[in-house]
Amino acid sequence: MPAEAEWRQSVFSLAALRRFATYLALWLILIGFNIADLAIGVAAAAWATIVSILLLPVNDRQISPLALAKHCLRLPWQSLVAGADVARRALDPRLPVQPGFITHATGLADGPGRNAFRAIMSLQPGTLPVSVAKSGDMLIHCLDMSQPIAAQLVDEEALFLQLTKGGEKHPKRNG
């Protein structure tokens, strides 16, 4: 077996083992540790692992633990600020509301990575992803066009790419 094939097999095996352990731990948290139920838990975790691999195949991208911690700490605050900003603008007629659309040219390839990025973008104050063109350009609805939303989205994408240690880039844009 060539070295690359061995490496891919080890990545796959490790990812499958992690998923299995996660599902089994979830089972034990929900059901509790009982020797009689353990066989059912192992079977359920095995089936969940198989289904998860079929629905979301294993790849060789790794998530940076430090970047994940940053995101986990930043996301709730960002969501709270976004909700408060929208509510404040909706309830106070003196605050500026200049709705419109911008296009954000993302470097992310179509798939789970881009979808996760779109979900994160929806937590930005006053932004909501509307659609994605085949080229990867995203149409974003903005509540206030006077804000530097394009720059915020570029920064957000850079942070997201750090999360997946470079992520999966769109072939036409980032080679």
Nearest to 8 by CA among 53, 65, 51, 58: 58
Residue 53 has pLDDT above 60, yes or no: yes
What are 69-113's pLDDT values in tens digits? Answer: 887 888 788 778 878 887 887 788 787 778 899 999 888 878 778
Nearest to 122 by CA among 142, 137, 136, 108: 142
Phi-psi region of 58 (alpha: psi -120 to 50; beta: other; left: phi over 0): beta
Give the model's confidence band at 62: pLDDT under 50 very low, under 70 low, under 90 confident, else very high.
low
Q: What confidence score (pLDDT) does residue 165 get?
A: 63
Q: What confidence score (pLDDT) does residue 42 get?
A: 93
Q: What confidence score (pLDDT) does residue 6 get?
A: 64
Kindly list the strands in the beta sheet with 100-105, ordered across the sheet, starting from the edge strand earlier in the chain: 100-105, 137-142, 127-132
Greater pLDDT, 46 or 158: 46
Residue 119 has pLDDT above 70, yes or no: yes
* Distances, alpha carbon 169 to alpha carbons 15, 42, 59, 93, 111, in Å: 21, 36, 14, 42, 11
Give the model's confidence band at 172: pLDDT under 50 very low, under 70 low, under 90 confident, else very high.
very low
Over pLDDT 90: what percentage of the chain?
A: 17
Total residue count of the chain as it appears in this document? 175
Q: What confidence score (pLDDT) does residue 140 get?
A: 92
- CB of 86 within 8 A of CB of 141? no
Residue 48 has pLDDT above 80, yes or no: yes
Q: What confidence score (pLDDT) does residue 34 get?
A: 84
Q: How far apart are CA 28 and CA 129, in angstroms?
A: 38
Tally of helices (H runs) and strands (E runs) in the chain:
6, 3
Q: Which of 13-17, 53-57, 140-144, 164-168 has the highest mean pLDDT?
A: 140-144
Q: What confidence score (pLDDT) does residue 132 get?
A: 86
